[in-house]
Amino acid sequence: MLILTCPCCGIDAAEIELAPGGEAHLKRFGPGSGDAEFENYLFNRHAAKGPVLERWRHAYGCGKWFLAARDSVTMEVYGTYSARLPEPPEDVLARIRARHPGWEVPA
């Protein structure tokens, strides 16, 4: 059972205090977008083995959404950060790359 530190309120929250929200950093496509990009937005997920970027909500706590960089194999948490950021902050990227040299945010 995971523990993630909520970056909004600082609590080390147990998994049962959190609600998962799937992959982070999706770019929304609305009316006017092409079929391919819309389908990609709606359905295609990376589901990577290794570092994953995820959305979580501190549902039984401060109620805020945040993002987490986690390793889906080792469960190592590289960091949690604001849901407003377009990509993981540098310190989180550095921790991911320390384990997975050259790792890039998946396109």
Partner 1 sequence: MSETIQEPVSPLMGAVAEGALTVRELGPTGMISLRGELSDPAFAGPVTALAGCPMPDTWTVSGTGARALLWMSPDELLMLLPYGEAREAAPRLQAELDGQGLHALVQDVSDMRVRLQLQGPHMREALARLSPADVSPGAFRPGSLRRTRIAQAAAAIRLVSEEEAEVFCFRSVADYAFRLLGGAARNAPDFGYF
Partner 2 sequence: MSTRLASGGRFLDRSNKIRFTFDGVSMSAHPGDTLASALLANDRLLVGRSFKYHRPRGVVASGAEEPNALVGLGTGPRFEPNQRATTTELFDGLTAESQNRWPSLDRDLGAVNAALSRFLPAGFYYKTFLWPRAFWKHLYEPFIRRAAGLGKAPHPESRDSDTYEHFHAHVDVLVVGGGVAGLMAAKVAAASGAQVLLIEQTAHWGGRAPVDGGTIDGLAPEAWVAQTLSELDALPNLRRVARCMGAAVQDHGYVLGYERLTDHAPGSIGPRHRLWRIRAKQIITATGAIERPLSFAGNDVPGVMLASAMRDYVVNYGVTPGQRAVLVTNNDDAYRTALVLHEAGVEVVRVLDARPMGGGKLMEMVREKGIRVDPGRAIAKVSGGKRVATVHSCLADGEGNVLEDIPCDTVAMSGGWSPVVHLWSHCGGKLRWDDGAAFFRPDPERAPTGFDGQPMVIPAGAANGDMTLRNVLEDAVKSGENAALKVGREVVRIVAPLGEEAAEAALMPLWIVPTKATPDLRMKAFLDYQNDVKVSDLQLAAREGYESVEHAKRYTTLGMATDQGKLSNINGLAVLSDALDEAIPQVGTTTFRPPYTPVSFGAITGEARGELFQPLRRTPMDAWHDANGAQWEPVGHWRRPYCYRRPGETTEMAVNREILATRQSLGLLDASTLGKIVVKGPDAGKFLDMLYTNMMSTLPIGKCRYGLMCSENGFLIDDGVVVRLAADTWLCHTTTGGADHIHAHMEDWLQCEWFDWRVYTANVTEQYAQVAVVGPEARKLLEKLGGMDVSKEALPFMTFAEGTLGGFPARVHRISFSGELSYEVAVPAHMGRAFWGKLLELGAEWDVTPYGTEALHVMRAEKGFIMIGDETDGTVIPQDLNLGWAISKKKEDFLGKRAQERLHMADPRRWKLVGLETSDGGVLPTGALAVAPGKNANGQRNTQGRVTSSYFSPTLGRGIAMALVLDGPQRMGEELTFTTDDYDPADEAKTTLTAKIVSPVFYDPEGARNDV
- For partner 1 (CB under 8 A), the number of binding residues is 13
Query: Amino acid identity, residue 104?
Result: E
Applying the rule CB under 8 A, the residues between 58 and 87 that interact with partner 1 are 60-64
Q: What angle do CA 70, 36, 29 make, to 5 degrees?
A: 65
65 binds, among partner 1, partner 2, none (CB under 5 to 8 A by kind): partner 2
CB of 84 to partner 2, least distance (A): 5
Distance CA 96, CA 51 (A): 7
User: How many other CB atoms are found less than 10 A from the CB of residue 92?
Assistant: 21
CB of 77 to partner 2, least distance (A): 5
Binding mask 10-49 for partner 1 (x = CB under 8 A): xxx-x-xx--------------------------------
Q: What share of the chain is helix, strand, coil (3-state, %, to 5)?
A: 20, 30, 50
Residue ranges in contact with partner 2 by CB under 8 A = 1-3, 14, 19, 21, 28-33, 35, 38, 42, 55, 57, 59, 63-65, 71, 74-77, 83-84, 99
User: Using alpha carbons only, how large is the chain's radius of gyration in Å?
Assistant: 14
